[in-house]
Structures are given as structure tokens and as C-alpha cells.
Amino acid sequence: MNLPQTMRYIDVPTSGAPEVMVLATGPLPVPKGNEVLIRVQAAGVNRPDVQQRKGLYPAPPGASPILGLEVAGEVVALDPMASGFYPGHKVTALCNGGGYAEYVAVACGQCLHWPEGYDALQAASLPENFFTVWANVFDMAGLTPQESLLVHGGTSGIGLTAIQLARAQGSAVFATAGSDEKCAFVERYGATAINYKTRDFQQVIAELTNKRGVDVVLDMVGAPYTQRNIKTLAPRGRLVQVAFMQGSKAEIDLMPVMLKRLTITGSTMRPRTAQEKEAIATALKQKVWPLLEHGKVAPVIDKVFPLEQAAQAHALMEASTHIGKILLHVAD
């Protein structure tokens, strides 16, 4: 395949508001080691992208400085050491960076074939949410079908993914959201919704569980919720932190942790090793892709912007009025 010499991408010349992002032109990345080169058709927009744009979440060493942690597209080239994918394969990939561009190089182990019947937009909405939820809720926290889950931010991409995967295996799910409209939306997916602006989630959970609490809490709010999350957990419960939208430093009483034998854990995806990400991709292929292909779980897409409107996409993300994924359309 004859590839162009240059590509369009979103550049961030200086940290700041969404408007600092500009459309630029530069050379294509060169796949190395076990990488494939993907012609990007769609890319996901995520909160870590917003943090990186603000200068608060720098790219790790060796990663592309271009924003973008997930894409879907077509393999167009590969390093001689790469295996498992070939030019023409349609893949969705968890990137270490570089997704807001027409081409991106990604390790083979972080790529998956599109679920059967999916298009580029649907496929691009999967990696960041499904890798994160699987690793934290099912791998680290070990949520079982007999257990219950509380999801904060139920209408976020992460939240809706967690609700659907937990319900698919039979777990009871509670979810917080910030409006009656959002609460009604998450209840369509089988969660018991709690409007955190009008009700105290800790009190509601106590009432609904006969004061037992839930087995796992998935939180992205951070500091203001930490002590309340701990009090909401049942004996041997697990608090899983995947973001800190309202701060990462909290003063907490550890006595309930000891008395109830709780576990406080969490992770972010980007710093994980390639081997860890490949293991998660393998688990998703085996256990989650069949659910997607049979319609038992599905991504929820709020709005799609063309690549050159990345600033508008970030503004929507920061407004927190969206339900589900925000995507960039890059090419057909």
C-alpha cells in the first residue's frame, strides 16, 4: 500500500483551554518492534486527554505526545517483528498516545479485531472503557455474579460499561448520576439509580441493602467520596479508584477498613506494561467480545465530532452533560 508522506493530527502547542488544540500536519509514525501502523477512522475522547491538554497528565516516556488513547481503523503496515495482524485487518486499539491523528502505531498486543457487525465508531468506543473496567472491576476487585456493585458516574463511558458488564453476569448494580434524566437512562440498563444531587447515596445504599452495603464500589470522583465509599462497603468489600475528578488527597478513618476487612485499590491504564495490556486484551477477546457480538452489551455513543473539531469535543467532555462516549471521526 502506498502511504502518504504526511498526516493530519491535533497538536497542543501549549497547555490550556480546549482552544489551544490546533490541526497540524506532520510525518507518519513508523511502527517498531511488535507494532502495527493503523489508518485511523475514529478515535475516542477521554478525560485523560483533557488532563494532558491542560498539562496535568504528561505522556509517559516513549509514548507519542499526540493526544488520544483509543482508535479504530485499518492496519496498513507493520514492523517485521509484529504478528497476529496483517494489512487490511480492521482493528480497535488501546493506544499509549497518538490517537488524534490519521495514523498511529500501536503494539499488536493492544489491538483487537472489531466485534462482528461493528463499524469504526462503535469499535473506537471500546478500548479505554472496556480495558479499564475489566482490569479494575473484574480482575483486581474480582466482582462475582452473587455480589453487588456501586458505580459512581453511571452515565460516563466507564460507568455504562461497568453497569452492563456487571449486569450481564448477574450482579446487582447501583449507580449515581447527577440528574433525573441521567438516572432514568442508567435504569434502562438494569441499575438502581441514585441522583446524588438530591439524595445521599450512602443512606440510600444502607436502606436498599438492609445496612449491609455493597461488595464493590467503582469510583472516579475521589476525595469527597472516599470516606462515604468506605462506609458504604459490605464486609470484605473493595473500593476501586479509577480517577480523581475532585481530588486525590483525602483524610479518612481507617477503622472501618480494619473492622470490615476492606480492600482499597485502583489503577490507571496508561502506565501498565505492554504485557499487562496484552493480558487484558486476551481476556476481553475471550469473555467480553462474545457479549458485544450477541448484543448483550453495547457501547453508548453521545456525539461524534470531525477531527478538526477536537476542541468542541473537549468542551463537551468538560461540561459533563454527555451520556456515554464522545468520539472523533477521522476518515471513512
* CATH topology for the 6-126+270-329 domain: Quinone Oxidoreductase; Chain A, domain 1 (3.90.180)
Whether 6-126+270-329 and 130-266 share one fold: the answer is no
pLDDT < 70: residue spans in the chain: none
Q: What is the pLDDT of residue 2?
A: 87
Backbone angles phi, psi at 131, to 5 degrees: -60, -45
How many helices (H) and strands (E) the chain has is answered by: 11, 15
Helix axes 223-232, 201-208, angle to 10 degrees: 10
Q: In the chain, where are the structural domains located?
A: 6-126+270-329, 130-266
Q: What is the pLDDT of residue 81?
A: 87
* CATH topology for the 130-266 domain: Rossmann fold (3.40.50)
With the C-alpha atoms ordered 167, 168, 169, 170, is the resulting torsion angle positive or negative?
positive
With the C-alpha atoms ordered 290, 291, 296, 297, is the resulting torsion angle positive or negative?
negative
CA–CA dist 83, 35 (Å, integer): 9
Distances (CA, A) of 116 to 92, 107, 128, 182: 12, 22, 19, 29
Q: What is the pLDDT of residue 190?
A: 97
pTM of the shown model: 0.96
325-329 and 35-45 strand pairing:
antiparallel
Provide the 8-state DSSP code for 101. Answer: B
